[in-house]
Amino acid sequence: MDSELQVKMFNIVPTLRCNLRCRLCNVLCPYFREPYHPTMEHLFEQADRYFSVIPRTARFVVSGGEPLVRSDLHEWVYFLAKFAPQIERLDLNTNGTLIPDDRLLQSLSEYPGKIRVLVDDYGSDKSVKAWEAYEAFKGVYGAEVELRDYCTKDAHFGGWVDFGIYDLYKLQRKTDEQAVKTNATCSTPKMGYAAMMLNGIMYHCPRQIYLIAHKVIPALPGEAIDFFDDSLGDAELRQRVAAFYKSGAHLTCYYCEGLQEEAPVRHPAAEQMTAAEQHRIWEAHDGWRKRNHD
Ligand SMILES: C[S@@+](CC[C@H](N)C(=O)[O-])C[C@H]1O[C@@H](n2cnc3c(N)ncnc32)[C@H](O)[C@@H]1O
Ligand code: SF4
Ligand code: SF4
């Protein structure tokens, strides 16, 4: 049973920094005043621990934040190559603002497994290097490369969803029944969640990271799994991960609207907030924390 455990999608987060300010970012990167940005050594430690516990990962995602803001991203790809036998496919997602450098392209070409690169095109005003990045990634040996349209009338899925979680002051806790329904009709669990690791802790959805960071919800041991908790052996960790995938609504689903399958309202992708708006949000968050927690 243990040896069969497969995580469908996983990202050991290389950065939550980003060079865009998308109002509806599903990871809420622009909402963090000091976005997470681990050292490469810390990423390596997390990968060693994760892959020693989890035998198989279907999609291991190199994403963020914007992964290409890291000029040392090639080191991460070279390190991940060690674990290629445990990874079905390595995915890299980027926002089309930056052209990959030769070291990154070389590391991807040397990766000994399947690779898929997704270049999101949010329009020529934002994804200013989308075509050049796409052309450069097409040179990666054996990689499947897609330039994803997020800016025309044929935009992928018609655009983005609003997870309804952005304004802390407007959050309303749902009833048990509503949360169970939201989770049951959300596509995220069906895709195997968008699990991420930050500081050695595995989260099911990026929205959870935002709510925990702003103390809206606690990090419950069954929902935020600490791979560096010395009291948990590997088998216990695997059990927790398996249980986490089987459980219904998580605490985050009490606040999040989810990726609804039925009649989804879609919004233009990557609409930007201004720097002034972003500052106002950070200040509002400081006020919110003071009022509720300090
Ligand atoms: C958080 S981004 C990180 C990678 C990179 N910065 C980018 O934008 O492509 C990961 C993926 O989530 C998608 N995404 C972000 N916010 C979304 C939303 N509100 N609804 C649907 N997809 C979203 C992006 O288009 C991208 O493909
Ligand atoms: S480009 Fe937009 S969606 Fe991607 S991480 Fe940055 S803010 Fe989020
Ligand atoms: S409703 Fe729950 S499972 Fe769906 S995206 Fe939101 S937090 Fe994730």
Q: Which atom of ligand 1 is nearest to the CA of 24?
A: 19
Q: For residue 5, what pLDDT is reported?
A: 86
Q: Which atom of ligand 2 is nearest to the CA of 16?
A: 5
Nearest 10 degrees: CA dihedral of 209, 282, 42, 13? 50
How many degrees, rounded to 5, is the angle at CA 58 between CA 92 and CA 52?
100
Q: Is the pTM of this model over 0.75?
A: yes
183 CA to centre of ligand 3 in angstroms: 6
Q: Which ranges constitute the DSSP H helices of 111-265?
A: 130-138, 176-184, 187-190, 206-213, 234-246
Going from N- to C-terminal start, the domains of the chain cover 6-289
Residue-wise pLDDT for 120-157, tens only, equals 999 999 999 999 999 999 999 999 999 999 999 999 98
Residue 134 CA to residue 145 CA, distance in Å, equals 7
Residue-wise pLDDT for 246-273, tens only, equals 888 999 999 999 988 775 789 999 999 9
- Rounded to 10°, the helix 102-110/73-80 angle is 10
Domain 6-289, what fold?
Answer: TIM Barrel (3.20.20)
Of all protein residues, the one whose alpha carbon is nearest to atom 5 of ligand 2 is: 65
63 CA to centre of ligand 1 in angstroms: 9
Residue 270 CA to residue 273 CA, distance in Å, equals 9
Is the beta carbon of 183 within 6 A of some atom in ligand 3? yes
